[in-house]
Amino acid sequence: MNGLLKGKRGIIFGALDENSIAWKVALKAHEQGAIFTLTNAPVALRMGEINKLAEKCGTIVLPADATVVEDLEKLILDSVAHLGGKLDFVLHSIGMSPNVRKGKTYTDLNYEWMNKTYDISAFSLHKTLQTCKKLDALNEWGSVLTLTYIAAQKAFPGYGDMADAKATLESIVRSFGYYYGVDKKVRVNSISQSPTMTTAGSGIKGFDTFFGFADKMSPLGNASAEACANYCITLFSDLTKYVTMQNLYHDGGFSNMGVSDAIMQLFPGEKEG
């Protein structure tokens, strides 16, 4: 299907390199006719990779630390000005835990770093939504999407304080989704994605092993970043106008599994009879 996002304007947060989920979303959104700005934290922009993406998508890159409201205000106003009108979609594809990154386990957290984890990985969504709402920057039926992980619902050792941040993130989706829905018919959803080989993903201890486990546990196998991008496009499109305040699993069935035959085969155990 072509032109699903024709005439739509947006902001895409979080494309760091070509493995990033946001990178794939930008390419697909461009393919489907959307216009948008790209943004990332100033420190991430220093890598310079994102400029290649901007060139491919015929757009500009605007720096913004998503934890700083003044940065968000400028980003949103500049995006509206550059794109020539109010926005129809926002992708919030941001996550980082200093504790996870520096190898601090869940039972030995540094609480200053934990605040950072929350600020970057959860509160930044609230700040983005609140700033968009105050500036009245989103059109009616606009769509805001964030990326999350099932460690918000179930225990996944190694995911550390990111699990708590994701649980908060998903709660913000519901709470803000209510207010934005009532006031402006804007929808807010999270996509709970399979483990994916990206910078954020592979920062988790034992990620490679876990990636294989999730793949064997999921009837459809792990969902790729590209497949995730396709799902994002449908949620930005007018075909999903009444979906809001949801946590949507995009995980090949993982979230509803107890155990799979493929996993059982790894543990043959005692033969009966």
Ligand X SMILES: NC(=O)c1ccc[n+]([C@@H]2O[C@H](COP(=O)([O-])OP(=O)(O)OC[C@H]3O[C@@H](n4cnc5c(N)ncnc54)[C@H](O)[C@@H]3O)[C@@H](O)[C@H]2O)c1
**Between 184 and 227, whose beta carbon lies closer to ligand X?**
227
**Between 130 and 139, whose beta carbon lies closer to ligand X?**
130
Spot the catalytic one: 106, 111, 159, 242: 159
Does 193 contact ligand X by CB under 6 A? yes
Find all residues with CB under 8 Å of 156, minimum gap 6, and list them: 149, 150, 163, 210
In the list 37, 143, 198, 237, the residue contacting ligand X (rule: CB under 6 A) is 198
Residues 27-46 that bind ligand X (CB under 6 A): 40-41, 44
- Cα–Cα dist 43/94, whole Å: 14
In the list 27, 67, 74, 106, the residue contacting ligand X (rule: CB under 6 A) is 67
CA distances for 84 relative to 10, 40, 60, 78, 137, angstroms: 11, 21, 13, 10, 12
Does 217 contact ligand X by CB under 6 A? no
Does 129 contact ligand X by CB under 6 A? no
Q: Which stretch binds ligand X (CB under 6 A): 2-10, 147-155, 229-237, 239-247?
A: 147-155
In the list 5, 8, 14, 37, the residue contacting ligand X (rule: CB under 6 A) is 14
Least Å distance, CB 119 to ligand X, is: 8
Say whether 106 is catalytic: no
Spot the catalytic one: 106, 111, 149, 242: 149
Residues 229-268 that bind ligand X (CB under 6 A): none
**Between 26 and 80, whose beta carbon lies closer to ligand X?**
26
- Cα–Cα dist 104/194, whole Å: 23
Q: Residue 245: what are its φ and ψ, rounded to 5°?
A: 65, 25
Q: Which two tokens stand for residue 220?
A: 């459809």
CA distances for 233 relative to 8, 100, 144, 145, 211, angstroms: 11, 30, 11, 10, 25
Does 66 contact ligand X by CB under 6 A? yes
- Cα–Cα dist 38/11, whole Å: 6
**Sign (positive/negative) of CA torsion 217, 202, 120, 9?**
negative
Q: Which residues are known to be catalytic?
A: 149, 159
For ligand X, the binding residues (CB under 6 A) are 13-14, 16, 20-22, 40-41, 44, 65-67, 93-96, 120, 147-149, 193, 195-196, 198-201
